[in-house]
Amino acid sequence: MSSVAIIGGTGLTSLQGLEITGREIMQSPYGEPSGILIHGTFYGHEVIFLPRHGSGHTIPPHKINYRANIWILKEAGVSQVIAVNAVGGIRKDMAANCLVIPDQIIDYTWERNNTFFEDCTSQVVHVDFTDPYCESLRQQLLQGAAAANIDVIAHATYGATQGPRLESTAEINKLERDGCDIVGMTGMPEAVLARELELCYASVALVVNRAAGRGNGIITMEEIEQNINSGMVQVRKLLEHTIPLL
């Protein structure tokens, strides 16, 4: 059984290079996960793959059952999770196709089930979230990037917005003032739920557009799709060089 899972985001609903060895339907006490767990070998190493938006990319960010997804990964024996996230670039150097390994998060989402510890009868739990991503896994991703000869940005703050709409320019200005470098809709509460279940969790963020008001004109789905297609090639290469290090 693999202890490494990859949660695929937009543009990564299936993992090219994954030789599938099994499919596992898992139930969770929190409802339906995004789909079945795909077991396989990725360049000789066992991994579990879960597409966050469902296998047909039908679940929008605010409807994803993050608790069910993280719970079934834990239940399947996973200890390390690499999350792939498509994001908008806020900081000047966060251009389309950049790969970013964020080290901080600001959460702007609302009305998402964001804890496993909500039951009043259980002990009150406040997990530490000083460093929201698992530093050892982040370092392994950076080593994987170096081995693959891929440029990555090693420090960034991820602003998690509610979606599914993109932001206004004023909202991005506010996020920038807050210190956000990239913006996406799926980073939270996934990261904190992983922390609550003591999973080592890190993100590979692919910039697929300049954030609102930071590029030329409006953001189109065509632009995003084009950048996803080219950028995911790099993401796969990074995963290929990182998985053997785990």
Residues that bind ligand HPA (CB under 6 A): 86-88, 161, 166-167, 183-185, 208-209, 211
Q: How far is the CB of 207 from ligand HPA (least distance, A)?
A: 8
Q: Which is nearer to ligand HPA, 136 or 169 (CB)?
A: 169
Q: Which is nearer to ligand HPA, 93 or 118 (CB)?
A: 93
Q: How far is the CB of 197 from ligand HPA (least distance, A)?
A: 25
Q: Which is nearer to ligand HPA, 157 or 209 (CB)?
A: 209
Q: How far is the CB of 227 from ligand HPA (least distance, A)?
A: 9
Contact present, 206 and 231 (Cβ < 8 Å): yes
Q: How far is the CB of 43 from ligand HPA (least distance, A)?
A: 27
Q: Which is nearer to ligand HPA, 9 or 33 (CB)?
A: 9
Q: Which is nearer to ligand HPA, 37 or 152 (CB)?
A: 152
Q: How far is the CB of 244 from ligand HPA (least distance, A)?
A: 29
Which residue has the CB atom at the shortest distance from ligand HPA? 88
Q: Which is nearer to ligand HPA, 79 or 163 (CB)?
A: 163
Q: How far is the CB of 233 from ligand HPA (least distance, A)?
A: 17
Cα atoms in the Cβ-side hemisphere of radius 13 Å centred on 205: 34
Cα atoms in the Cβ-side hemisphere of radius 13 Å centred on 232: 20
Contacts of 198 (CB under 8 A, 6+ apart): none
